[in-house]
Structure 1
Amino acid sequence: MPINIPKQLPARNVLEQENIFVMDLDRAHTQDIRPLKIVIVNLMPDKERTETQLLRLLGNTPLQVSVTLLHTASHQSKNVEPSHLKQFYNTFENIKDKRFDGMIITGAPIEQLPFEEVDYWRELTTIMEWSKTHVTSVLHICWGAQAALYYHYGIGKFELPQKCTGVYKHYVKKPTVELVRGFDEEFLAPHSRYTSTSLETVQACEDLTVLCTSEENEPFLILSKDEKHVMITGHLEYDAKTLADEYERDVKKGLKTDIPENYFPNNDPGQKPLHRWRSHAHLLFSNWLNYYVYQETPFEWE
């Protein structure tokens, strides 16, 4: 089934070229079906790229999905045209009286800042608190996962000796849980972050279950016991070239940065990286939408 997005959204052309089934709202209204309502809190600087990455995964399911894009009013985005935000995005004030079947909170390149020093932290905590009563299930990605662990469960982060960037092996620890249904016992996923979360601390929290760990013995996929919160510490949504672009950006800035591990063929930045985690990205989003959103959300929110 299709994903419903505005006709003019730039991501639409990319998705149609990839044969992702998209439709506009006019056509969607002719179908006698209630679509899942998903709100995406997009905290990434390159909002258009993140839109495409997430919509690609949301659109590859048998469910009809209607997406609302949200940006923080308390932060001025420097890497996106104001006209794009005005045309395609809402702020929390616009949607606070609505209810959603699912919500995605993206990562953000601010993990070295204490949470309370992030200029939109108060607004984000308001949204996370609101989600307890207005959203069926929330998917948190990278810094968004760290923010959720800190706000909902009091679990902090710590700084790594150097940036974790590359594609790493991960292992399924709870294969019978529906979120990882169909996963290989070992799979790959990209990471791009300066901080991490203690596996022991997460495991000690009785409200959380670690479903997958990384080869560095860090938590990768975490599920709350009430199944309302899903936290991914990496970036399964990244496309093949994202880490390469981040690496080139850091080099141009003169930053001391390592070549992403296990990413470029022969460890050569001049070679085109392969997309080796695509299938598990689609599987994770499909499982989340089916088992934790569609199967759990009320048909009528009232």
Structure 2
Amino acid sequence: MQRQYLGCVGKVDNGIVTVHLGVTRGTFQALLDADLYLPKSWSEDRERCRTAGIPDDVKHRPKWRLAVDQWLRAAGNGMSFDWLVFDEGYGAAVPFLRFLNLVDQRFVAEVPVNFTVRGTDHGPARRADGRLSAADARGGARHRVAHRTVRASFWRAATARVWVEGREHTLIAAVNEATAEVKYFLTNATMAPLPRVLAVAFRRWAVEHAFRLGKQEAGLMDYEGRNYTGMLRHLTLALIVLGFVATHTERLRGEKPRGDRGAGVPGVEPAMRRGVPTASRHPRAAAHRRSHPLPSAAERTGRQVPQEAA
């Protein structure tokens, strides 16, 4: 059975913040769910909300709460996930981590360097980079991380046993050998081998690749409406398009569609019906290669993300 991974990442498109759930399984990847995020400043200005068509019962909620609701909807529809993986914006939300532990959902969370951990259940609080330093990571084992769109990367990683909210977790510090980028991860799968945890952690790039495809091909970045209901409909249609394309891409993967007579089979090349125009009459346009989406740019190390209180 192939593993599933669920990534939840907040994205900003032309000033509109959305919270998405994306899934990858083998070569299949798609976006499952999405919500519009209502900023606190908007929620406190109900007249402004009414002008935009936002119902009075729609209030500001933290993005991690929207992610919880999406997870519950997916579970209610019979979906289960081997792993949940998300960026440090969600990793800093301790209530979100507590929820995932309560429902026994394995996760790998990227966490900020100032994330608070403890060496024992009741030990003193320390920062993540105080428990594991970049030097510790550089002295750790070497791991190869495969990517689809670029060559594999190599990371050095070290681990430490820590406690967060009274539960044991594994803290990982990883450094990229080529760029010296440092990342911190936290997982509740304390018995999982480190190569497996790192593979899951970097699988989030596949979900973020689905976001980029959605922006480029399905109109996710074309938020030009001024009405809340219209934006929800636009978001829903974009998800339907992405799901349709992902499903049929997976179905046709490795197959040639009917009608491609002789495609890929050696033989006599059929004659052309007309002659080829000369270069002087029809100058060839400059060659253009469409850029392929790459994993998101390396985040600056040492960025501080406030950790939410319980």
Q: Could you state the TM-score of these two structures normalised by the residue count of structure 1?
A: 0.33
* Higher Cα Rg, which structure: 2
Q: Could you state the TM-score of these two structures normalised by the residue count of structure 2?
A: 0.32
